[in-house]
Amino acid sequence: MTMDEEPTRTRRVRIVNAYGLHMRPASKFVAIAKDFRSDIRVEHQGARVDGKSLLEMTCLAAECGTTIGLEARGPDADEALDALAGLVAAGFHMTEEDYAP
């Protein structure tokens, strides 16, 4: 089965870290997304971007409390969504020190 024949898996997740999806959390997301062979897309307010592109991810500007849609298509789509949704739910593992000037 080719990637085009794979079903698309989707999941909705809420951004819970204080400052939303800025550069640091986006870079953590992209690093995990790149570990998977599946195509990863992220949707926010009508914009749909490549989850493996740091530039595209930061352009979403998803704030704390907003919901984003995750899509994965490929041989490890379910595993990718589990890992990425877990990262978002954990606030991207950001600590107060990450926000210190």
pLDDT, tens digit, for every residue of 53-90? Answer: 999 999 998 999 999 999 999 999 999 999 999 999 99
Residue 22 is among the residues annotated as catalytic for this protein:
yes
Catalytic residue, candidates 22, 28, 66, 94: 22
* Number of structural domains found in the chain: 1
How does residue 6 score in pLDDT terms, banded at 50, 70 and 90?
confident
H helices present in the chain, as ranges: 23-33, 54-59, 77-89, 96-99
Half-sphere exposure of 98 (CA within 13 A, CB side): 14
In a domain, 101, yes or no: no
Instruction: With respect to residue 97, please indicate whether it lies within any of the assigned structural domains.
Output: no
Contact yes or no for 33/92 (Cβ under 8 A): no
For residue 73, what are the domain limits? 3-92
pTM confidence score: 0.89
DSSP 92: G
